[in-house]
Amino acid sequence: MNTIQRTTRLEKTYVYIDGFNLYYGALHGNGSGYKWLDLQSWLSKILKRNDIEKIKYYTARVSGKYDAGKPIKQESYFRALKTLDCVEIIEGKFLFNNKRIRISDDVSLMVKVPEEKGTDVNLAVSIGP
């Protein structure tokens, strides 16, 4: 009697995340309690796949200029993410650029505005041909 053994081969899944878009679009200020989100578990559930090979998390280190606690909290989250074997953190950076802000028709201010640099480019290069 011949028996046919069927094996299911799972395809490898790679996930690319813009960390700031995830944080500000889905997690920040919504009272969800997901700020310490286990990315691997969450993605396995929403993608219904247990074959996530790599999660590439693109972000930049925040400044403590206006809130000294932000870099500490971010570093704590990075340490938590690094406990997951499949997570790789790819960092861009923030630059502060001068920008004129109009307050009224006759009043404007020159302010330093933080701009995230490198995250989008790093992500695009990773998924390019």
- Hunting for tokens 């403590």 — which residue is that? 64
pLDDT at residue 79, rounded to an integer: 92
Q: Report the C-alpha dihedral over residues 41, 44, 48, 54, rounded to 10 degrees.
A: 180
Q: Which residue(s) pair with 91 in the sheet?
A: 59
pLDDT at residue 56, rounded to an integer: 93
What span, in angstroms and rounded, lies between the C-alpha atoms of 74 and 80?
10
pLDDT at residue 30, rounded to an integer: 58
pTM: 0.72
Split at pLDDT 50, 70, 90, the class of 58 is: very high
Mean pLDDT of 37-56: 84
pLDDT at residue 108, rounded to an integer: 92
